[in-house]
Structure 1
């Protein structure tokens, strides 16, 4: 009878061990979750042509504020001049708004009426 009592204890101990949360058997399934970061919605920053802002100033703004290289800045400036406007950047709203504010402040400082707007892309 003692043996049976001891084996019952052993069986119970094994069952408890196997059901404990700290133990993983070979048949346990491990679940991994991938987190996907949702990309922010992009907005078009549009620069508009006017009859007063110099082409050199527009190129300067495109290089300094929007970080275009000189060739791309010149190409965009010509598109603005010939078409009346051009998309100069696609950015999340907060960043687009910050860039527009920078352009506006710099243009006002130089007494240019350069207009830059934001639209959903």
Structure 2
């Protein structure tokens, strides 16, 4: 028995790329330390959630489900995908690959990359 698709749709619609609580908490902490940063910097490859240009530091705050962290820890990852099961096994590995590519390009360009997992 799967989840009600209308409830799943509402839940997914509330997930935000910008200004999610883990990102806001980190931004507040950086601000209190008088560290200036850019938010969703479109001029930095991979569009990090925060970037500190002075130090070439790219910070990504990602959900462990969406970026595959939780999936890697499971013995049977397919158990996570109760609805739209053909979609997710392609989506999550694509996110992992995109994250690795962004990391590598930033590192090649002299950036330091920090990835923070917002785990549930």
Report the TM-score, using the length of structure 2 for normalisation. Answer: 0.29
Q: Quick check: which has more Rg, 1 or 2?
A: 1
Structure richer in helix, relative to its length: 1
